[in-house]
Amino acid sequence: MKTSRPRFLSWHCQHALLVAFAVAVLLVTLRFGPFDESTALECTFAVCILAGLAVVAVAASGRITFGLVAGCLPMLLLVIAANLKFRYLSTPLLAPDLVYYFNAEIAQTLLRYPFIIAAIVAALVLVPALLVLLWHGDFRPRTNLGTRFARVLGLVAGVALLVITLSPRGLFARVYDKGMWLAMNDESFISDFVVSIRNAHVYQPPFHLADATRDDWRKLPGDTPAATRKPDIIAVLEESTFDPRLLTACTSKLCDARMFHADANTIAHGWMNVHTWGGGTWTSEFAFLSGLPHTLFGPAGIYAPFNLAPRIRYTLPRLLDADGYYTVGLYPTDGDFMNGRDAYADYGFDAFYGGQELKLDWGATDAQVFAAFERVFKAEKAKAHGKPLFVFMLTLYQHGPHMTPFKEMPAPYDKPLFTGKLAPQDKTLDDWLNLNLANYLQRLSMSDAAMTQLETFLRHDDRPALLLHFGDHHPSFDGAITALAKIAPPGVADPQYTTYYMLKGFNLPIRREHYPVLDIAYLGSLLLDAADLPRNPFFIANTLLRDRCDGHDLDCRNAALRDSYRAWVFGHLEDLK
């Protein structure tokens, strides 16, 4: 009796500890998982998923403690991974990340973050060890008809709960309606990940092949262009830049900038429709280089550098290469960010310079980027043996956050600039928006001065040159920019998706084009017009649609014409491989 009693107590203590541990894991998962979701609906959604996983794990294993922990671990690990990614990259973990981010480049990037490496190694070692320990230490009821029936019933109930919860058209359809872009920009880590699962694959735009021949997409009107002297082409994607005069009350002279005004060298300028806001620069890159909006390919199009760049047959760099150009990409961030280096190779660039090669980092001003461009331009010209250059570069300084304190900015940006009514319903602009706007306008003044210097550099070069610069999207102001009232210029469908474009020519005859509103997908064909260059079948069709739809694309009023174009591009030309 004296020897069996301690064993009896020891077993009960062990089981109690395991139960307490399992309950603790459940509570931690609830606290940092479902209870941390942004809305009550998303919280309920995540609780139902957790309940379904736990019930299935308990029923399948026949062990309550083991099943409870095993059911919680997927969600707990997801929450930990999502928080780490959000901490270092400012975006939550999404299902397509597991497809597109697992490569040699991400491994090299992770090596710069020892804490993340340690967390991954710890998870790989400790999680299996924990599950083995729980499996062998947990109490398992005797197997009989009753326990078998209970387990089957539990398994059916758990699976049914998961099926009902995860149905995109079921009880939680409103969670799925948030879309990929919102999922990439909020902190509902569980619902964001689940919503993104069905958005990991690219879909070919729907079309009827018979529509392709309903309109003529083969020949441009007039004679075939042939430039006597091909100009160098410089394209600048201005990060998070829009004309602030689009804001209802931004009438101060500080809201104006020379870079938005036409002059004697201007070929075309105006408002530009883009297909993203608050972020997603890489989708504007894609639209410019491919002539296609990323939204055509479904929600997964937002991962264009990974899943679309390798599959698009016709791109602007490839065409320019065929026209005798040497094509160069300048990327002021880490060259592997958003698969940049590989994507630019897929787009057809001959040379690529990342932030490390350019000696630039996230704080680089436009002036620093343009100084790096001048160095690269001179070096590549020397190596090009007379070939004209196409250089595409991105600026970075307007990237958020726009939160530099007033006291750290020069006058007149060192105080709130707008105390009037800028928000809808005549609401007064708060301190937060005043701070963001002052930051934006101060950086815009720096961009304006740098652009003037870039124009001077190109004007004084002895070769003809084209300079295109455009805004990729509105800044986010941490989501607050949506509170600012905006003007809707004629022809603009949604000012939130409206930036600007400016095309100038130096040391060449100026032939003006008139597109007060232009879709970003047409910038390539506009450059080809200005340079008098021959084009391939895709850019012939792109030019024809641009002219027939007056610069509009997705919002072209002639839906039948737009459908015929899509059928020609994706059915006849097979632009998506």
Per-residue confidence in pLDDT tens, the chain, 577 aa: 444 444 545 666 777 888 889 899 999 999 999 999 999 999 999 999 999 999 999 999 988 899 899 999 999 999 998 888 777 666 778 888 777 766 555 565 566 667 777 877 888 888 888 888 888 877 777 777 777 888 899 999 999 999 999 998 889 999 988 777 677 777 899 999 998 887 778 889 999 999 999 999 999 987 655 667 899 999 999 999 999 999 987 888 999 999 999 999 999 999 999 999 888 899 999 999 999 999 999 888 988 998 999 999 999 999 999 999 999 999 998 887 888 999 999 999 999 999 999 999 888 999 999 999 999 999 999 999 889 999 999 999 998 889 999 999 999 999 998 876 666 666 677 888 899 999 999 999 999 999 999 999 999 878 899 999 999 999 988 777 888 889 889 999 899 999 999 999 999 999 999 999 999 999 999 999 999 999 999 999 999 999 999 999 999 999 999 999 999 999 999 999 9
Structure tokens at 86: 């959000």
Cα within 13 Å of Cα(380), Cβ side:
22
Q: Is 25 domain-assigned?
A: yes
Residue 508 falls in which region: left (phi positive, over 0), alpha (psi -120 to 50) or beta = beta
Please, is 214 exposed, middle or buried when counting C-beta atoms within 10 Å of its C-beta (0-12, 13-18, 19+)?
A: middle
User: Dihedral, CA atoms, 524, 530, 535, 539, nearest 10 degrees?
Assistant: 30
Q: Which helix (H) or strand (E) holds 352?
A: strand 351-353
Q: Is position 169 within any domain? A: yes
Range of the domain at 396: 209-220+238-572
Structural domain includes residue 320: yes
Q: Per the domain annotation, does 30 fall within a domain?
A: yes
Which residues have C-beta within 8 Å of that of residue 89, sequence separation ≥ 6?
none
Phi, psi angles (nearest 5°) of residue 276: -155, 160
Q: Is residue 204 part of a domain?
A: no
Does residue 72 share a domain with residue 36?
yes
Which pTM was predicted?
0.83
Q: Considering all CA atoms of the chain, what is the largest pairwise distance in Å, rounded to the nearest integer?
A: 107
Is 225 contained in some domain?
no
First-to-last C-alpha distance (Å) of the chain: 78
The answer for residues whose C-beta is within 8 angstroms of residue 109's C-beta and 6 or more apart is: 334, 336
CA distance 565 to 221: 17
Q: Omega into 412 within 30° of 0, i.e. cis?
A: yes
User: In the prediction, which pLDDT does 110 show?
Assistant: 63
The amino acid occupying position 55 is V
Query: Tokens 């326990």, residue?
Result: 147
Within 234-293, residue ranges assigned H as helices are 281-290
Q: What letter does residue 221 receive in the DSSP assignment?
A: S
335 and 455 together in one domain: yes
Do residues 501 and 470 make contact, with C-beta atoms less than 8 angstroms apart?
yes
Same domain, 81 and 120: yes
Nearest Cα residue to 190 out of 85, 336, 33: 33
352 and 471 within one domain: yes
Same domain, 163 and 262: no
273 beta partners: 498, 519
Asked if residue 214 and residue 74 are part of one domain, the reply reads no
- Secondary element (H or E) of residue 421: strand 421-423
Whether 247 and 168 share a structural domain: no
Q: Which pairing describes strands 421-423 and 427-428: parallel, antiparallel, or unpaired?
A: antiparallel
> What residue type is assigned to position 431 of the chain?
D
Taking the C-alpha atoms of residue 318 and residue 466, their distance in angstroms, rounded to an integer, is: 18
Q: What is the CA radius of gyration of the chain?
A: 28
Q: CA 239 to CA 245: how far, in whole Å? A: 17
Residues 249, 172: one domain?
no
At residue 196, φ and ψ (nearest 5 deg) are -80, -10
Side-chain half-sphere of 458: how many Cα atoms within 13 Å? 26
Single out the residue of 213, 201, 203, 202 nearest to residue 571, CA to CA.
213
For position 300, what pLDDT does the model report?
85
In this structure, are 376 and 524 located in the same domain?
yes
Report the number of distinct structural domains present in the chain. Answer: 2
CB neighbours of residue 365 within 10 Å:
18
Q: What angle do CA 549, 552, 556 make, to 5 degrees?
A: 65
Structural domain contains residue 202: no
Question: 45 with 174: CB under 8 angstroms?
Answer: no
Pairing of strands 232-238, 465-471: parallel
Check whether residue 90 and residue 165 sit in a common domain: yes
Same domain, 149 and 243: no
Pair 438, 416: CB distance under 8 Å: yes
State whether 416 and 451 are in the same domain. yes
Which residue spans within 438-573 are E strands per DSSP?
Answer: 465-471, 498-506, 517-519
Integer Cα distance of 503 and 513 in angstroms: 10
As a whole number of angstroms, the distance between CA 167 and CA 146 comes to: 32
Show the tokens assigned to 208.
């009827």
| List of E strands, 201-320 | 232-238, 266-273
Based on the number of CB atoms within 10 Å of its own CB, is 548 exposed (0-12), middle (13-18) or buried (19 or more)? middle
**Domain end residue (candidates: 197, 230, 249):** 197
Distance of CA 485 to the CA centre of its chain: 25
Residue holding tokens 């430039």?
227
Q: Residue 312: which CATH number?
A: 3.40.720.10
> Distance of CA 1 to CAs 7, 10, 12, 100, Å?
10, 14, 17, 63
Amino acid at 470: F
Find all residues with CB under 8 Å of 334, minimum gap 6, and list them: 109, 340, 354, 355, 356
**277 Cβ partners below 8 Å, 6+ apart?**
473, 474, 476, 481, 496, 497
On the 0-12 / 13-18 / 19+ scale of CB atoms within 10 A, 204 is middle
Q: 231 lies in a domain?
A: no
